[in-house]
Amino acid sequence: MPEVAVLASDLSSFLGKSRLTAVTFHGRSRLLGTIAPPTVRVALNSMVGGHLHFSSLGKWLTIASRSGSVKLHLGMTGQFLARKLRPEERDHLFVTWVFGDKRCHFIDVRRFARMYRDHPGMDWGLGGYSPASGFTLAPPEAVRERLRSQFGGFQRVARITWLLRFGRDTGVGNYLANEVLGELHLSPYDPCRNEAEAFRILRRCQAIARRSYRAGGTSFSNGYFRIDGTRGEFARRLDYYQNPNLERRRFQGRSVYSHFASSALDPAPRCAPSARDCARG
């Protein structure tokens, strides 16, 4: 969540009032069609000549103009770069936006990014960015209402499973889930005790997301960099995720760092860090 908000803020600051003068698409047609389908490419081309506005909600970035909008989910390694690409980065280039003498490229090493004209679940998040308001968080009453109406199951599955199950709706990723449960001294392997605890977890997610945003977000080995290619500083401030002093366990397909032993919900064997985990946020 905070990383997408940082991206929206960076793009807004970099482009200012510049008008879009051209859009070019790159890559093999089948792969390009998966990341940016024809309807998306038509929508992006229709924006030429206008000003673009960038905002975010949860994990979704919105690119909008008077002619319409496109939603983008970055996946694990999707990123915008407003600098000259290195030769090895050109193999992963899919879209270039031209704003007079400025250029902004979209690359994706792992190919999990997706662009949509419309997609369910993109109208809410625990936090987001808009040029008018900056980084804002959903108010407590809205979080509680969503918890009751959409984010159920917190007493039936492990806390970290519940958090990540609704990650596309809330904006919570793996590093944020690990940090929240660590800070609250809660086992990631057991269910929430009650609604009050689930609500407290979501509110702590918001608090950590705000800290992350102020530090430029969290960058991993090959994802979530700033548009100039620099790293977000919050990774250095993480106390739990990828902490070498904590045992790392594989739990239901995700890496978990915790003082707690796994529960009967999953044996969670010990394992060593992998490049895949370094990329997942």
Query: Model confidence at 29, in pLDDT bands (50, 70, 90)?
Result: confident
Phi/psi region, residue 248 (left: phi>0; alpha: psi -120 to 50; beta: rest), is beta
Residue that has been written with the tokens 């994990």 in this structure = 59
Q: Residue 112: its pLDDT value, please?
A: 93
Is residue 1 within 8 Å of 173, Cβ to Cβ?
yes
Residue 122 neighbours by CB under 8 Å, 6+ apart: 57, 60, 62, 71, 116
Judged by average pLDDT, the poorest of 23-37, 179-193, 261-275 is: 261-275
222-244 confidence digits (pLDDT tens): 778 899 989 899 999 999 999 99
Query: For residues 162 and 212, what is the distance between their CA atoms, to the nearest angstrom?
Result: 22
Provide the residue count of the chain.
281
Residue 119: which pLDDT band, with cuts at 50, 70 and 90? low
In order of 2, 26, 36, 221, the CA distances from 135 in angstroms are: 8, 32, 27, 25
Sign of CA dihedral 163, 167, 170, 176: positive
pLDDT of residue 224: 82
Percent of the chain with pLDDT over 70: 91
What integer pLDDT is reported at residue 273 of this predicted model? 40
pLDDT band (50, 70, 90) for residue 31: very high
Say whether 9 sits in a helix, a strand or coil: helix
Q: What is the pTM of this model?
A: 0.89
Q: From CA 262, how far away is CA 21, in angstroms rounded?
A: 54
Over 70: is that where the pLDDT of 161 sits? yes
Q: Give residue-wise pLDDT tens across range 194-230.
A: 999 999 999 999 999 999 999 999 988 777 889 998 9
What would the pLDDT profile of 51-81 be if each residue is shown by its tens digit?
A: 999 999 999 999 999 999 999 999 989 999 9
Q: Is pLDDT above 60 for 272?
A: no
Helices (H), 127-173: 140-149, 159-165, 167-170
Residue 121: pLDDT band with limits 50, 70, 90: low
d(CA 51, CA 63): 10
In the predicted model, what is the mean pLDDT of the chain? 90
